[in-house]
Structure 1
Amino acid sequence: MRWRILATAALLAAVTATGLGAPTANAAAPAALVPAADRDVQFTVDGTTAYGTLHVPAHRAGHHLAAALLLPGSGPTDRDGNEPPALTPGTLALVADTLGADGVMTLRFDKYFTGRTGAGAYQGDPGRLDLAAFTRQAAAAYTALRDQPEADPHALLVVGHSEGGLQALLLARTVRPAPAGLALLAPQDERLLDLLAAQLDGQLDEAVAAGQLTEPAARANRVGVATAIADFRAGRPTDTSALLPPLASLLNALFGPNNARFVRSDDAVYPPDAARAIRPGTRVTVTCGTADANVPCATTAPLLAALARTHATGPGLRTLDGLDHFLHPAGTPVNDRMLAPAAVAALHEFARPWKSAE
């Protein structure tokens, strides 16, 4: 019977080695909790290193998280959604905090001519920058996010504010894997110069209502702005000499050598056309604030129709009553660092399928 004793000993050794004999309580013990943390991320594209902040929420070790790339609005807007020192609402930093509460990790970065990234390879010639350069930079950021060890490559998201909403649409049709979800927060939904003309018309109307300008003067400036835009689009010289000085200064800067290439390339894109390339089944949220003078709710219909034709899934449009372009309640000082509860709720709703249980 000795062979049975030897066999039993061998069996016990094998069981111990494979862990089958470990107590049930140890096998079910949860993985260690990794605390929330921010860490610096950098990536290089077109000869320029860009710098950003990765926010990783608290999670169990080894657990992969949904991961969202955050894209800023127009102009020199940095990783936090600020244009310091004058404009510091912290929009993207607040979005990162909100998504982090749902267990979604985020990457936000300083685009060209902002923050630590600065001008990079464009230092001596900013006029070389066009919309495609910013899209390539965003695509490199998406890849950097995808490659983070905590990121779930099947749950990559893009959240864009204002012009960043247009960039999200452009990015979604080029990167791989395609994003599982897009949150377009007060997105640019018209051609750039059409949107600009509407904004300037609104400001002229406000000046008339306040008694600061006569209606004939406002009308002449509306016509002058429209003529300057038409001439720029046609490649003709623009004449802004008859416009109010603030309008002339703005258009001269946009149409000047440092910005003309970018403006022309952005204005060539009709956002609903970009939306038609979105992958079917993509979860999409679009927000519009009823007090948003930059991107009014009245302009969203063509974009929403284009998204519907792609068979994108909901939540779809979320109208934010009384909110401005920075997702504040109307009348809130622009530099107050806050997101209105309705905007927070829209973000939580968007992130619901990827909400971490930890």
Structure 2
Amino acid sequence: MFLRFAAVVLALTVVTATPAEAVPALVPAADREVVFTVDGTTTYGTLHVPAHRVGQRLRAALLLPGSGPTDRDGDQPPASRPRTLAQLAEALGGDRVATLRFDKYGTGRTGLGAYRDHPEELDHPAFVRQAGAAYEALRDQPETDPHRLLVVGHSEGAMTGLLFGGTVRPRPAGLALLQPQAIRMLDLVALQLHAQTAEATRLGQFTPEQRRAIDAAIDAAVTALREHRPVDTTDLPPVLAQLFRAFQGASARFVESDDAVYPPDTAAALRPGTRVLLTCGTNDVQIPCATTDALTAALRRAHVEGPGRVPLPGVDHLMHDADHPDTLAPAVLDALHRFTGGSRP
């Protein structure tokens, strides 16, 4: 009896002598503003940090918007408010990935910044430098793991991510190229305009002869822009004539510098083994899947890892489908989950 009692006391002593293991406190999900300066411009962004343990370092993704005056949420107010980047931040947060999205030049709180008095000098490399500075700001946040950084770009933002993804330090662990600009800008513009002209002809708005004249004028306008000659707008409908005049106006420097980039060439600078997702929507009239063929092949030659190209059935350029006109389509969410899930340690 005494021996059994002594054994029980000893066991109790062992148990009570071992302190209970402390459970790290949880920090709830939150957003906060991040401010950084690049080329004399103060840039404003939103950092979304999902719920995490105190002291935990999280994977983190820089979100890059598409073309035009697209702000940190993926909107072009007041006309267009799809909230593309805000919805991406929410989706990635569900996979415990922190995100930074920012107001690029000409949008939101950032505005034109140092280019306020000479907007005609704003070129595409300026946007690339701004994105690179945002990447560094994300890298330096106390909640992020600098060795598990991701870049998620939509449309033109995907090309921007490709351009700096091979130069920043540390290199991104992964790139998500969502409906990416994958060919030269003016080639893409011509492709889109030819498709619109064909549809207008089908609807009876142009005759076949008018269509041929317009298509020839579009191609001639692209050639003139690349050769720095005035564009002949005689055979162009007024709206297209206005577009090409704008390309030779205040936007000329941006258009020329953007068009100088052939995205497949940028893939060679990526670190072998970088995880890459490339999506294309079958209902995307702005970035048809076929335009991503050369970039897909270049990524393969660069020896990046999957998921690779993922076609999205029924998905449009804003990553919606018929059943989800205001939110990211399930196919998009599934592709993102494959991308982030595969990059977990």
Q: TM-score range by the shorter chain?
A: over 0.9
Deviation >2 Å, runs of 4+: 21-27, 330-333, 353-356
Alignment of 1:1-358 (within 5 A): 24=18, 26-27=20-21, 29-256=22-249, 258-330=250-322, 336=326, 338-354=327-343
- Per-residue CA distance 1:150-183 (angstroms, 9 max, x = gap): 0001100000000001001001012100000000
Residue 106 of structure 1 aligns to a residue in which SS?
strand
Kindly tell me the number of residue pairs found equivalent between the two proteins.
332
Distance in structure 1 (CA, Å) of the matches to 2:156 and 2:99: 19
1:218 Cα deviation after fit: 1.3
Distance in structure 2 (CA, Å) of the matches to 1:194 and 1:354: 34
Q: RMSD of aligned C-alpha atoms? A: 1.6
Distance in structure 1 (CA, Å) of the matches to 2:50 and 2:244: 43
- Per-residue CA distance 1:15-46 (angstroms, 9 max, x = gap): xxxxxx9954523x320000000000010011
1:238 Cα deviation after fit: 1.4
Distance in structure 2 (CA, Å) of the matches to 1:242 and 1:308: 42
1:52 Cα deviation after fit: 0.3
1:330 Cα deviation after fit: 4.6
Distance in structure 1 (CA, Å) of the matches to 2:293 and 2:184: 14
1:354 Cα deviation after fit: 4.5
Moved more, 171-180 or 191-200: 171-180
When normalised by structure 2's length, the TM-score is: 0.93
1:342 Cα deviation after fit: 0.3
CA 35–260 in structure 1, closer or farther in 2 if over 3 Å, else same? same
- Per-residue CA distance 1:35-82 (angstroms, 9 max, x = gap): 000000010011100000000000011110001000000010000111
What corresponds to 1:16 in structure 2?
A: none
1:241 Cα deviation after fit: 3.0
CA 46–275 in structure 1, closer or farther in 2 if over 3 Å, else same? same
- Contact 2:31–2:48, Cα closer than 8 Å, also in 1: yes
CA 22–355 in structure 1, closer or farther in 2 if over 3 Å, else same? farther
- Contact 1:102–1:355, Cα closer than 8 Å, also in 2: no
Identity in percent: 61
- Per-residue CA distance 1:93-151 (angstroms, 9 max, x = gap): 00000000010000000000001100111111111011110000000000000000000
- Contact 1:103–1:355, Cα closer than 8 Å, also in 2: no
Residue 284 of structure 1 aligns to a residue in which SS?
strand
Gaps of 5+ in 1: 1-20
1:318 Cα deviation after fit: 0.7
Residue 230 of structure 1 aligns to a residue in which SS?
helix
- Contact 1:66–1:354, Cα closer than 8 Å, also in 2: no
Distance in structure 2 (CA, Å) of the matches to 1:165 and 1:183: 7
CA 24–197 in structure 1, closer or farther in 2 if over 3 Å, else same? farther
When normalised by structure 1's length, the TM-score is: 0.90
Gaps of 5+ in 2: 1-14
- Contact 1:102–1:348, Cα closer than 8 Å, also in 2: yes
- Per-residue CA distance 1:253-308 (angstroms, 9 max, x = gap): 1221x100010001000000011211100000000000100000111110011000
Distance in structure 2 (CA, Å) of the matches to 1:24 and 1:49: 53
What corresponds to 2:4 in structure 1?
A: none
1:240 Cα deviation after fit: 1.3
Residue 276 of structure 1 aligns to a residue in which SS?
helix
Distance in structure 1 (CA, Å) of the matches to 2:269 and 2:198: 37
CA 297–22 in structure 1, closer or farther in 2 if over 3 Å, else same? farther
1:239 Cα deviation after fit: 1.5
